[in-house]
Structure 1
Amino acid sequence: MAAAATVIPDGRRWCKGASPASSPVTTAIFLFFFVIVVGVLVSARWITTTSHLPITNLDEWRTKPAILTATHTTSIPATPTPPPPPRPAYSISCSAPPLARDPAVPSNISQTLYLALSSNKTCASVPEPQPLPSTTTNSSCPGYFRFIHEDLHPWRAAGGITRAMLDSARATANFRLVVLRGRAYVERIAPAFQTRDLFTIWGVLQLLRRYPGRVPDLELMFDCVDWPVVRADQYQGENTTFMPPLFRYCGDNETLDVVFPDWSFWGWPEINIKPWDAVQKDLYIGNKRVKWVDREPYAYWKGNPDVAAKRQELVKCNVSSKQEWNARIYKQDWIKESKAGYKQSDLSRQCTHRYKIYIEGSAWSVSEKYILACDSMTLVVTPKYYDFFSRVLMPIQHYWPVRDDNKCSSIKHAVDWGNSNKQKARVIFRPLSALRN
């Protein structure tokens, strides 16, 4: 194979000008991204209807060409002859089999969901969902959709995604996902932290259920760990032929990991966080309890400071007998909170201050979307990482930037300015309503 073009990303890897022709796999992944983000925004909720996850042995896939690669495609007849026998399917909404509860499954995790994604048993099969009729719409895509092109540009410039590239992503992946004829096939490669993999897969199942027949056939590797690992400087020149297309929840300007909506959009049961659709409704009610002008005139943050040095530095900005930095910092002890029934961690009751602070943890933090949705002016401590949605946010327009090397003084200045310019401060958070839907 001839050496692919060198990929040297700029600060945000945004591609300008003409691009080489798309390969089938990059086109398929783009379509998958397009549909799943729409699915996240309109249906991030608990499943109430049946979805399928056929349980199958995926070892056979390892010896075959990729479903979609730059050089090979697997032809799939539209109407098989003779019709294949009914395939075993797992229904997420079916009753749990009459088995004793698996002690390995945490008590706050749905055993039905766990079995649906891991067991060899099956519930009764149901008919194949019929594709929805094609529709047209005049609505435009949100601004962050353009980053789908940016994230996939390195592989487009390299001529497409090959089987060797895909297999190289296996080294750190937690699971492998194949979508074929509207069905999801999953191979678990390594355990994920808590149930991140389960809820990410659950999100894909909801997508397939909501848009039957519209999700293209594809294959991908997914890493559920926080930190991006595909360093751009290691895949230049001839090395682009082994550039792994690895999906995860965040990235930074030095890596090529493909960013995907995080698992908490579909729920985070270990800390009692509901799916995004339900959280939005709770936050809407919470925002109505206290008008912005009547809220506490301070900057609020609550979280676990032990996961990062920068968060421990933020704790020093808390009010004390010697200094007032206009910040109110609270430590979240999740072990203690779980024993108390999560009474002090209700997100809808944390919209009580005019200003809320977002600061990264060990990497990006899922708390970002909940903070932004609180209708308080968001103070963002200079971030290193980005998730799928945050790259469209602009300083002053959507948030107030806080210097990482001078947090306390920067927070005090922001709060003093906002309290002295209430009308201008309120304008900074108003555009966020467009990002919540």
Structure 2
Amino acid sequence: MKGCGGLIHAGDEEEGAALVPLPAADELQEAPHKVVDDDGDAAERTVERQPPSSSATTTTRPCWKTPLLSPTKGAVGLVIGGLVLLALLAGAGWVDLDASFLRGNGSGTGGTGRRWRHPPRRQRSSPPVPIPFSCGNGTSSSSTPLCRRPRVGMPPPAASPSPAAPPPPSCPDYFRHIHSDLEPWREKGMSREAVERGRPKAAFRLTVVSGRAYVETYHRVFQTRDLFTQWGIAQLLARYPGRVPDLDLMFNCEDMPELRAADYPDTSAAPPLFRYCKDGTSLEVLFPDWSFWGWPEVNIRPWGPLMKEIAEENARLPWPDRQPYAFWKGNPDVSRARRDLFRCSNDSAAGRDWNARLFALDWGAASRNGFKGSTNLAEQCRYRYKIYVQGRSWSVSEKYILACDSPMLAIDTPFDDFFSRGLVAGRHYWPVDPGDKCRAVKFAVDWGNAHPALAQRMGKEGSGFAREDMSMDYVYDYMLHVLTHYAALLRYKPTVPDKAVELCPESMACSAQGRDREFMMESREMYEAGYEPCTMPPPFTAEEAREMAAREKDVRRKVVKMEGR
């Protein structure tokens, strides 16, 4: 299957974990100053690999992910955990191999050692305001219902909020990359002509005027990527009525980044283009991919309900009871990286075992069977480790891998989507060198099996990131912030294109059938947000970027040393 989409394999992969370090003493002293959500989970903050400048986007970023803050789980648990960890490391002799990066990866705010926690859960207004939805007779209809006129949105936050109302939480640090995505146009802004220069690379044009969305389609895309991306946008407008500003943008639904910085010595001359992934040499603006609202062609449910299903499966099969190997299943034909992974297959006849259990998916047979069973992602959390390998570019599989409570062994890739820029090497996942992947996978599995407390902690960190920092609340907040900041750079008043059609939940879902309709209903927002979105954090500073790059380099050096290379 095609690239970023190689999700089938993705869904089959597990969560990305990191060699999660325990906090240092000074971090424990600062912990009480951070906020914790009601289940006590701590949050990670993202770090950027480059200084936030237009020139930075033209350099190739390091292939390994950047390390970040390590969260805390509470003072008592940390003290006990620290004693257990020290005993394990001392007993196994790993202190000599310098696994110190398991102790802490610094801070997402410039390496100050501060440890962030998840903010308190936001509370809806009381009573919640339902989002009206009706197809007339309540069934699928060949006639398209008219879109409702949007209600006036919530007023902007007051300068002095009521003491009874808690302030909105700070957004996860991966939101900070919105600033760097938009940096090329920060100074000069975007003209209508500049936006329209992106048309040859766009699948559709999205325009929002007075709270109503309109789409002009330019060409067909693979499967229903455009449909479910637009469905997500329609849900955003319903969730935050009146909060999405007037805007005009071009959206590309393909796999490979193609807006190359090298083609634009003056990056402000590049046409702004939204898409799902990018690498260190491209200028696209990132946006959540379609699969957060479901992937009907491969029978993968929307992210919200699927996360609950995966959590239930995790509880049914604790990590120690899982098979002690690294798992990957999917379509190997979409990329050389995947085909090459099969060199690490178990060969009992030759007496060779790389601790990997790899399964090639017969795409044709699975498609004929409606992908029944082959993409049951919750049931694939049966291995202690899961491998992440890119598709044609990035792969939507990464979030499903992260959700399994099992360390993700992530094979180096230059591609990122909007949230993966917040994953921290050595915390949320174990980095794997693609040049020596078989030996690296074997070592990671052997090491984790010999140090189950650390391996489980890494798995929990990865799944915690997926569950908390990637909740649909934050997915929608990311969409709102990136669209708001983008709209602020437009130097013209958007108008509805002549060939555009209005986009709303009724016009999309009421005429849909089969899984398309099922997944739309399953991912439909039922209530208005009733609260302010999370507070957008500032851009990364040049100093923070340097410190994060140094931490990334240090993690890689220590992994190589542990592997004995």
* TM score, norm. by length of structure 1: 0.73
Separation in structure 1 between the aligned mates of residue 208 and residue 419 of structure 2, nearest angstrom:
24
Deviations 1:29-84 (A, max 9, x none): xxxxxxxxxxxx99xxxxx9556xxxxxxxxxxxxxxxxxxxxxxxxxxxxxxxxx
Structure 2: gaps spanning 5 or more residues: 1-52, 63-121, 124-129, 162-166, 469-565
- The structure 2 residue matched to 1:180, chosen from 206, 209, 231, is 209
1:347 aligned residue: 377
Deviations 1:326-384 (A, max 9, x none): 00001122331233341232000000011000000110000000001111000000011
- The structure 1 residue matched to 2:457, chosen from 400, 420, 427, is 427
1:266 aligned residue: 293
Separation in structure 2 between the aligned mates of residue 275 and residue 425 of structure 1, nearest angstrom:
28
User: Aligned runs of 1:265-304 on 2, under 5 Å?
Assistant: 265-304=292-331
Separation in structure 1 between the aligned mates of residue 450 and residue 136 of structure 2, nearest angstrom:
53
Amino acid paired to 1:355:
Y
Separation in structure 2 between the aligned mates of residue 315 and residue 91 of structure 1, nearest angstrom:
49
Deviations 1:209-257 (A, max 9, x none): 01001111111000000111010111113xx453110110000001001
User: Aligned runs of 1:110-125 on 2, under 5 Å?
Assistant: 122-124=144-146
Amino acid paired to 1:425:
A
1:211 aligned residue: 240
Separation in structure 2 between the aligned mates of residue 411 and residue 178 of structure 1, nearest angstrom:
46
Amino acid paired to 1:285:
E
Pairing 1:190–2:219 present: yes
Aligned CA distance change for structure 1 residues 125 and 258 (closer, same or farther; 3 Å):
closer
User: Aligned runs of 1:35-434 on 2, under 5 Å?
Assistant: 50=132, 95-98=139-142, 122-124=144-146, 126-134=148-156, 137-157=167-187, 159-237=188-266, 240=267, 242-321=269-348, 322=350, 323-341=352-370, 342-432=372-462, 433-434=464-465
Shift of 1:394: 1.1
Shift of 1:278: 1.2
Is the Cα–Cα contact under 8 Å of residues 177 and 220 in structure 1 kept in the other structure?
A: yes
Is the Cα–Cα contact under 8 Å of residues 184 and 268 in structure 2 kept in the other structure?
A: no
Is the Cα–Cα contact under 8 Å of residues 326 and 355 in structure 2 kept in the other structure?
A: yes
1:83 aligned residue: none
* TM score, norm. by length of structure 2: 0.57
Q: Percent same amino acid at aligned positions?
A: 47
Separation in structure 1 between the aligned mates of residue 136 and residue 340 of structure 2, nearest angstrom:
44
Separation in structure 2 between the aligned mates of residue 165 and residue 12 of structure 1, nearest angstrom:
26
Shift of 1:178: 0.2
Is the Cα–Cα contact under 8 Å of residues 320 and 384 in structure 2 kept in the other structure?
A: yes
Is the Cα–Cα contact under 8 Å of residues 174 and 189 in structure 1 kept in the other structure?
A: yes
Structure with more contact order per residue of length (Cα contacts < 8 Å, sep ≥ 6): 2
Amino acid paired to 1:255:
S
The alignment's C-alpha RMSD in Å is: 2.5
SS in 1 for 2:279: coil
Aligned CA distance change for structure 1 residues 127 and 161 (closer, same or farther; 3 Å):
closer
Shift of 1:97: 2.9
Shift of 1:155: 1.0
Amino acid paired to 1:217:
D
Is the Cα–Cα contact under 8 Å of residues 50 and 92 in structure 1 kept in the other structure?
A: no
